[in-house]
Amino acid sequence: MTQETTKCLIIGSGPAGFTAAIYAARAGLNPILYQGSQPGGQLTITSEVENYPGYPDGIQGPEMMMDFQRQAERFGTQVRSGMATKVDFSVYPHRVTIDDSHVIEAYTVIISTGASAKWLGLPAEQRLNSRGVSACAVCDGYFYRGKDVAVVGGGDTAAEEATYLSKLCKKVYLLVRRGEMRASKIMQERVLNTPNIEVLWHTETADILGENEVEAMRVRNVQTGEERDIPIQGFFVAIGHQPNTDIFKGFIDMDANGYIKTKPGSTHTNIEGVFAAGDAQDHVYRQAVTAAGTGCMAALDAERFLAAKGLH
């Protein structure tokens, strides 16, 4: 087991992680960033990004994350492949094990491990991902202006996405597996009072149809077993996200869904010297630009923490 020490360790490589790295590196913290299981985060499975400032013509998600990485490396960030497999925040400096083989003692740790969308498990979901299948209406809804789309889910997220899409799209189908929604009463009312949203009760997705892009969905009535095909151009899965925070359980305070709790107005967690940024702690906005903003905050919080300790 090899070992090293650093002032600042960043776990995760999406917009939050790389922005934290840019700020930490410029502050002279010589950060080490581990990319994790999905280098670049969720944006690497996104095609066109049109809502991030500074890219007036839009940019491909993977290309954008390469820009983030190059900027972080320009200021001296060590970007490494590897995954945090164990942490010990009961000691200081904090200890983080990478790939079960390398221990890093870190005076500050920035958690930016993000969250992963929950999927239905259909083969077509992954095949048509970014080609009509999406898990973020705010990110991708603009591409389906004037088209017919579907949203899967019965909770607040699905209701919000359907309502958002209804302002852009010609028709929105909301697929609800049960005979009622789990969404809050006010969100249900918004859905049911929106003329171009059609709720398909007792309905599940049997398949998503299309060779190179979404052309239709095959839906199944769970009560009768009857199947039918409905033409659509966009298919949005809104059954929730899972924050990638399991290895921090037992040390870091989280909500019931596993999102890291941070002190209001900051990125401080309940553990001194450990900060959280991006979708690992944000279940409300979940946008690249808000993740980048909290990444900046985490680096500034880490720098101030080290200065107060006389370590920087």
- At residue 24, does pLDDT exceed 70? yes
Burial of 162 (0-12, 13-18, 19+ CB in 10 A): buried
Arithmetic mean of pLDDT, 176-180: 95
Strand 59-60 relative to strand 48-49, pairing? antiparallel
pLDDT in tens, 253-274: 999 999 999 999 999 999 999 9
Burial of 65 (0-12, 13-18, 19+ CB in 10 A): buried
Arithmetic mean of pLDDT, 210-226: 96
Q: Which two tokens stand for residue 261?
A: 């709790």
Band (202; pLDDT cuts 50, 70, 90): very high
Side-chain-facing half-sphere of 158: CA atoms under 13 Å: 29
pLDDT in tens, 279-303: 999 988 888 999 999 999 999 999 9
Give catalytic residue positions. 136, 139-140
Task: Identify the CA nearest to 77 among candidates 16, 9, 5.
Answer: 9
Edge-to-edge strands of the sheet including 216-221? 203-209, 216-221, 227-231
| 119-237 and 2-116+241-308 share a CATH fold | yes
pLDDT in tens, 76-97: 999 999 999 999 999 999 999 9
Q: What percent of the chain shows pLDDT beyond 90?
A: 83
What per-residue confidence (pLDDT) applies to 143? 93
What per-residue confidence (pLDDT) applies to 162? 96
Q: How far apart are CA 128 and CA 111, in angstroms?
A: 31
The dihedral through the CA atoms of 193, 196, 197, 201 has a sign that is positive
* CB distance 102 to 95 below 8 Å: no
Residue type, 307: A
- At residue 47, does pLDDT exceed 70? no
* CB distance 206 to 230 below 8 Å: no
What per-residue confidence (pLDDT) applies to 27? 97
Arithmetic mean of pLDDT, 185-205: 96
Instruction: Report residue 80: phi and psi, to 5°.
Output: -125, 150
Q: Which two tokens stand for residue 20?
A: 């934290």
Burial of 186 (0-12, 13-18, 19+ CB in 10 A): exposed
pLDDT in tens, 242-252: 999 999 999 99
- At residue 44, does pLDDT exceed 70? no
What per-residue confidence (pLDDT) applies to 285? 87
Buried b (16+ CB within 10 A) or exposed e, 103-142: bbbbbbbbbbbbbbbeebebebbeebbeebbbbbbebbbe
Q: What pTM value is reported for the model?
A: 0.81
Does the structural domain 2-116+241-308 have CATH classification 3.50.50.60? yes
| Domain ranges for the chain | 2-116+241-308, 119-237
What would the CATH number be for the domain defined by 119-237?
3.50.50.60
What per-residue confidence (pLDDT) applies to 60? 85
pLDDT averaged over every residue in the chain = 94
- At residue 41, does pLDDT exceed 90? no
- Which position has the token pair 């600042």? 8
What per-residue confidence (pLDDT) applies to 40? 63
pLDDT in tens, 122-136: 999 989 998 999 998
Band (116; pLDDT cuts 50, 70, 90): confident
Buried b (16+ CB within 10 A) or exposed e, 69-102: beebbebebebeebbbeebebeeebbbbbbeeeb
What per-residue confidence (pLDDT) applies to 241? 86
Arithmetic mean of pLDDT, 37-60: 78
